[in-house]
Amino acid sequence: MSILNDLETAFTRPAFRQQAGEIVGGECLALFKQGLEDNDAFIRETCQQLAEALRARARGELEEEDIRVVLEGLQEQLAIQMTNAQIAVRSRMQSIVEQLISLSLSVLITAL
């Protein structure tokens, strides 16, 4: 899972730690690991898309506005999927995907 290594590198940079703090980076990495290993395809694929977008932002390939559009699209997809999901899957969507999107919108994309 080199994408996790890429994010870990980005999250440990001094500039990121100054903006977001060490705890946020660690929390996000744990959520990504959990999401990328989840048995639900939507959760895995959404976490993969989110991780790729954040990696692209960290590499300077996406502007902040571009990644916000991506995240808002993922947020809309999440709302639709949560409506149709079973309770157990919906709970994991909320605890993993929704939390990652929220943290990304509020802290990560600015800090990267």
| Amino acid of residue 79 | A
The tokens of 83 are what?
């409506």
The tokens of 33 are what?
């690991």
Structural contact between residues 98 and 92, judged by C-beta atoms closer than 8 angstroms: no
The tokens of 80 are what?
């639709």
Q: Give residue limits of the domains in the chain.
A: 2-111
Determine if the pTM surpasses 0.95: no
B/e letters for 8-27, b = 16+ CB within 10 Å, e = fewer, are eebbeeeebeeebeeebbeb
Mean pLDDT over residues 16-37, rounded?
84
Q: What is the pLDDT of residues 47-70, one digit of tens each?
A: 999 999 989 988 999 898 998 899
* pLDDT reported for residue 77: 93
